[in-house]
A and B are shown apart, each in its own frame.
Chain A
Amino acid sequence: MTFPLNRHFGAQSLEGLPESPSQTAGPYVHIGCTPNVAGIEGVFERDLGSGSLFHQDVEGERIVIIGRVLDGADAPLTDALVEIWQADSAGHYSEGTVSRATAAIDRSPHDPCGFGRCATDSVTGEFRFDTIKPGTVPYPDGRWQAPHITFWIVARGINIGLHTRMYFADEGDANERDPLLNRIEHIKRRQTLISSTDEGAHRFDIRLQGDAETVFLDI
């Protein structure tokens, strides 16, 4: 992106194209991204990113993540789309092809994955992911990051997709040392990125506003 500086004497031009500006995903994002959930069946065999994030034979601790996206009136968003991206249990990100990228049943154990997409429930607003707990991955300066899952949230009323992360409540020591969590100036707010336990599942509620507003990332 070229910044609009006033160069009195002129200069060489900074060539480049500006990123396309974002626009809201709107109320019908599920038509395009999870059409089968939206009742449009037969166009795509399955919805992208549905089903377990890894084949059942992939090593790792199986976990379930549930949560909601809550607005400033504490109401869950029933029209949001949540995407996640994560490393495997050894801390490796997939780079091979996500073939059909769908349900675990026809995914080979060697298929790379780690991508999930979920429409929030049209009544309860809940999302759910069946996955494995990710390993640690390096930070650019060589330190280690605590296990985490990358989240991206879009919906009607959200003008630009929101990046955030979920860390794990049972990784207290690693979280203490995590470079990103330590960049959050207000220590109390770090908690907004850490899951809680909910009947065996990891609960991660994302709050768009209010005292417990989730830390969102410009990353």
Chain B
Amino acid sequence: MTADRNDSTDSGAYIARNRQWHPAALTPEYKTSVLRSPQRALLSLDSTISEMTGPVFGHDMITELDNDLIQNFASPGNSAIGQRIIVHGRVLDEQGRGVPDALVEVWQANAGGRYRHAKETYLATIDPNFGGCGRMLTDQDGRYRFRTIHPGAYPWPNGANDWRPAHIHFSIFGQGFAQRLITQMYFEGDPLIPLCPIANGIHDQRAIKRLIAPLDMSNNIPMDARAWKFDIVLRGRHSTMFENRREGDG
């Protein structure tokens, strides 16, 4: 099996990232990027087997409460404080196909805008029943779903009065390491989004919009939780009808 895959040329390299669509490495309004942004040009080349492959995760690594942030850190009989929400959507590739078995990891602040972390200094109260992490694998159509509380907005040390819009962090593994992606989901209608130096590191407004989840009333759980829909698109692959391969070589 493994040998076959290594020798295989029946699926092409990943489509190059459009670097104008993503935030630039250096976005001075987000001050930490100043010393942490590579300054030389990236070396651009087609992905090789080392990036076209990646770890494949099994559903047996996921336990029942992994996608329930309301319960997965709560003591028995308790649950996290906050507005109960469902976040759901699909992981797709650039051709619009669902990506099955994609590992989606999420983390977020509590309802007051505070993270459970040793380096967190915001004065909002820790919720003893909220850890802030969850994970799930997509189904055969690329669908995922988790339950949590609506995260709070919070101030952060960047500008003197900068506030992060409410957001949930997402880490996604597709089928190849070339697809690795970490991003953030924002909530439709949040007036802090246009003021955020991190969201605005993305220069194309259409791209920012791709990170804003709409309220999805039709998927609410009535008398319980509102739903927000968030689709994620990973890099797709070229077809390999004409493989760029030197003739005469093995």
A and B, one complex?
yes
Q: Could you tell me the distance between the alpha carbons of A73 and B36 in the complex, rounded to whole angstroms?
A: 9
Cβ contacts under 8 Å, B116 to chain A: 31, 38-40
- Is B30 a contact partner of A140 (Cβ separation < 8 A)? no
- Is A20 a contact partner of B107 (Cβ separation < 8 A)? no
Which secondary structure dominates chain A's binding surface?
A: loop
Cβ contacts under 8 Å, A154 to chain B: 182
Among A72, A99, A141, A159: residue with most chain B CB under 10 A: A159
* A-B contact number at CB 8 A: 308
Chain A residues 36-94 with CB under 8 Å of chain B are 38-40, 42-45, 48, 71-73, 75, 77, 79, 83, 85-87, 91-94
Q: Could you tell me the distance between the alpha carbons of A19 and B91 in the complex, rounded to whole angstroms?
A: 11
Given A17-B96, A159-B201, check contact A71 B35 (CB 8 Å): yes
Is A10 interfacial (CB 8 A cutoff)? no
Among B1, B3, B19, B181: residue with most chain A CB under 10 A: B181
Cβ contacts under 8 Å, A139 to chain B: 48
Q: How many residues of A contact B (CB 8 A)?
A: 91
Among A29, A35, A148, A156: residue with most chain B CB under 10 A: A35
Given A93-B49, A93-B53, A137-B6, check contact A22 B18 (CB 8 Å): no
- Is A142 a contact partner of B183 (Cβ separation < 8 A)? no
Some 18 contacts from A to B, beta carbons below 8 A apart, are A17-B93, A23-B169, A23-B184, A23-B199, A24-B184, A27-B119, A32-B133, A38-B116, A38-B118, A44-B66, A72-B35, A85-B50, A98-B61, A159-B201, A180-B43, A208-B38, A219-B48, A219-B178
13 other contacts beyond A21-B183, A208-B36, A209-B35, with CB at 8 A cut-off? A17-B96, A23-B198, A24-B33, A28-B120, A39-B116, A95-B2, A95-B56, A140-B13, A140-B48, A141-B245, A159-B23, A159-B201, A160-B23
Listed in ascending order, the chain B residues whose CB lies under 8 Å from chain A are 1-3, 5-7, 9, 13, 15-19, 21-25, 27, 30, 32-40, 42-51, 53-58, 60-61, 63, 65-66, 72-73, 92-96, 103, 105-107, 115-120, 131-135, 169, 171, 177-178, 180-184, 198-199, 201-202, 207-208, 210-211, 232-236, 243-246, 249-250
